[in-house]
Amino acid sequence: MRLYVDPSVWVRKLLGFAEDLIIVGHMPHLAKLADRLFVVGYATKKRPDLTFKNGSVICLCRNELGVWRKRWAVPP
């Protein structure tokens, strides 16, 4: 699978980042990446609803335990 298609490649990279960063991309790749990030922290629990619309801006963050959550979203 190509690097930009497989979200697990970026999940592994993001787990090593401590700094803030911005990721810009296209659907459906960003939605798949966000879903994979939530899997890391919510493996046995119901994951948060994350709905993407084209042109949206969504802020995801990790807490001190490394669990990802949606902080805010701005629809188009």
pLDDT at 2 over 80: no
8 A C-beta contact, residue 33 and residue 10: yes
Q: Is residue 65 part of a domain?
A: yes
Confidence of residue 1 (pLDDT cuts 50, 70, 90): very low
Indicate the Cα dihedral angle 25, 32, 16, 58, nearest 10°.
Answer: 60
Q: What percent of the chain has pLDDT over 70?
A: 78
Residue numbers of the domain that contains 31: 7-74
How many structural domains is the chain composed of?
A: 1
pLDDT at 44 over 60: no
Give the separation between CA 39 and CA 27, rounded to whole angstroms: 19
Q: Is residue 1 part of a domain?
A: no
Three-state DSSP at 31 gives: helix
Neighbours of 62 (CB within 10 A): 16
